[in-house]
Amino acid sequence: MGDIRRILVTGASGQIGSELTPRLRELYGKENVIASDLRKPVSDDGPFEMLDVTDAKQLDEIVVDHEIDSIVHLAALLSASGEQRPNVAWHVNIDGLYNVLEVARNRKLRRVFNPSSIAVFGPETPREKTPQETVTKPRTIYGITKVTGELLGNYYYQKWGVDVRGIRFPGVISNVSPPGGGTTDYAVEIFYEAIKNRRYTCFLKPDSILPMIYMPDCLRSIVELLEADLSRLKHHTDFNLRALSFSPIQLVAEIKRHIPDLVVEYKPDYRQAIADSWPMSLNDSAAREEWEWRPTFDLQTMVKDMLGVLSERHRSGKL
Ligand code: AKB
């Protein structure tokens, strides 16, 4: 690998963190990746620190004690839970990020990865093949914190040379830790319910197309951007990424090829308005040109893989 030696992962017990941390440990060495969160991680396979990212002093102590040179900052509230508690979303997503950027500046860290989201877009943004440079006027507090995060990261890079990088993630589909509080969560929940109960009530409309990515592609994108050659990057904190795009009804049809007796009802709730304000697909030519991004999973291969992993766990009584 390149110049990264010791990484702190915040939000390591969350959906992405619980799979990214073991992957980073494979690449950088078990002792060189420090997991941190308010909750204990699912797997206990390396150093862990209890950390509230809104506590700047605690964050600074961990960075110094572990000789951290890079931070992957995953601790955040997502779109749906952000709407339930906007003040907490602002505090965690903005004050937490500010603390991470400040420690990176003061301790001269090599790199910060701060995920952004398709939530930076809003109803005025073109919804199909959304361009890299376009209107970013989100209507959710989560989206507002993510646009602010992109701008703040660029500010720290331009003003102080802090190497901050980020991707506008779509919904992430995975089978280790469930997502918590997102608008795209239906696309994970449905797999668990299909296998366990053969029934699912979807909180979005059947034709609501959203962009998504399968976890193996998501993990690879983070590692590839972390390791990308800085001199090739024209963008830093706000890369559009394209992987999958589908509606609930398209996902259901694909799952039914494997589980024909699955029954799905649709009861859209407040999350429908959030989904309606987001893109259906993205133009990711900047990521493709600047760090060679290429997705590998399509809808068919993702569904087959998800069902394979979860069915096996169900058979062995671990679901
Ligand atoms: C959410 O639904 O809030 C997240 C996201 C798209 O950032 N999955």
Residue nearest to atom 8 of ligand 1 (CA): 171
Check if 125 has its Cβ closer than 6 Å to any atom of ligand 1.
Answer: no
Q: Is the same domain home to 75 and 177?
A: no
- The atom number, within ligand 1, closest to the CA of 146 reads 7
Same domain, 143 and 192: no
Task: Please tell me whether residues 220 and 306 are part of one structural domain.
Answer: no
- CA quadruple 156, 157, 162, 167: dihedral, nearest 10: 100
Provide the CATH number for the domain around residue 12: 3.40.50.720
By residue range, what is the domain housing residue 20?
7-171+213-240
Is residue 171 lining ligand 1, measured as CB closer than 6 Å?
A: yes
Kindly state whether residue 308 falls inside one of the protein's structural domains: yes
154 and 192 share a domain? no
Position 131 in a domain: yes
Residues 6+ apart with CB under 8 A from 219: 16, 19, 20, 23
Claim to verify: residue 130 and residue 252 sit in the same structural domain: no
Residue 46 near residue 210, CB atoms below 8 Å: no
Active-site positions read 142
Average pLDDT over residues 206-229: 98
Instruction: Let me know if residue 289 belongs to a domain.
Output: no
Question: How many residues appear in the chain?
Answer: 319
In contact, 36 and 9? CB cutoff 8 Å: yes
Q: Nearest residue CA, atom 1 of ligand 1?
A: 182
Round to whole Å and give the CA distance between 74 and 114. Answer: 7
For 289-312, write each residue's pLDDT tens digit. 999 999 999 999 999 999 999 999
Q: Is 117 in the pocket of ligand 1 (CB under 6 A)?
A: yes
Query: Model confidence over 94-116: pLDDT tens digits?
Result: 999 999 999 999 999 999 999 99
Closest ligand 1 atom to residue 185 Cα is: 2
For helices 96-106 and 141-160, angle between their N-to-C axes, nearest 10 degrees: 10
- Looking at the fold, whether 58 and 206 belong to one and the same domain comes out as no
Average pLDDT over residues 135-152: 98
Residues 236 and 194 in one domain: no
287: in domain: no
Task: Give per-residue pLDDT as tens, 196-214.
Answer: 999 999 999 999 999 999 9
Together in a domain, 147 and 40: yes
Q: Which atom of ligand 1 approaches the CA of 118 most closely? A: 6
How many structural domains is the chain composed of?
2
Q: How far is the CA of 170 from the centre of ligand 1 (A)?
A: 6
| Ligand 1 within 6 A of CB of 14 | no
182 Cβ inside 6 Å of ligand 1: yes
Q: Cα separation of 200 and 121, whole Å?
A: 29
Span from the CA of 278 to the centroid of ligand 1 (angstroms):
10
92 within some domain: yes
The share of the chain scoring above pLDDT 70, in percent, equals: 100
292 assigned to some structural domain: no
For position 247, which CATH number holds?
3.90.25.10
- The C-alpha atoms of residue 56 and residue 49 are separated, in whole angstroms, by 14
Residue 2 lies in a domain: no
Edge-to-edge order in the sheet of strand 116-117? 116-117, 167-169, 239-240
Instruction: Please state the pTM of the whole predicted model.
Output: 0.98
Q: pLDDT tens across 160-195, in order? A: 999 999 999 999 999 999 888 999 999 999 999 999
Q: pLDDT tens across 259-278, in order?
A: 999 999 999 999 999 999 99
Same domain, 221 and 252: no
Choosing from 16, 145, 169 the residue with most ligand 1 atoms within 8 A of its CB, the one to mutate for a pocket test is: 169
Ligand 1 centroid–CA 166 distance in Å is 15
Burial of 273 (0-12, 13-18, 19+ CB in 10 A): middle
- Pick from 66, 73, 76: nearest CA to 29: 66
Number of H helices, E strands in the chain: 12, 14
9 has a pLDDT exceeding 90: yes
Query: Do 16 and 58 share a structural domain?
Result: yes
Other beta carbons less than 10 A from residue 9's beta carbon: 30
Pocket probe mutation, ligand 1, options 77, 116, 117, max atoms within 8 Å of Cβ:
117
Is residue 154 domain-shared with residue 271, that is, in the same domain?
no
| Residue 222 domain-assigned (yes or no) | yes
What pairing do the DSSP bridges indicate for beta strands 70-73 and 33-37? unpaired
Helix boundaries (H) for 107-185:
141-160
Does 176 lie in the same domain as 75?
no
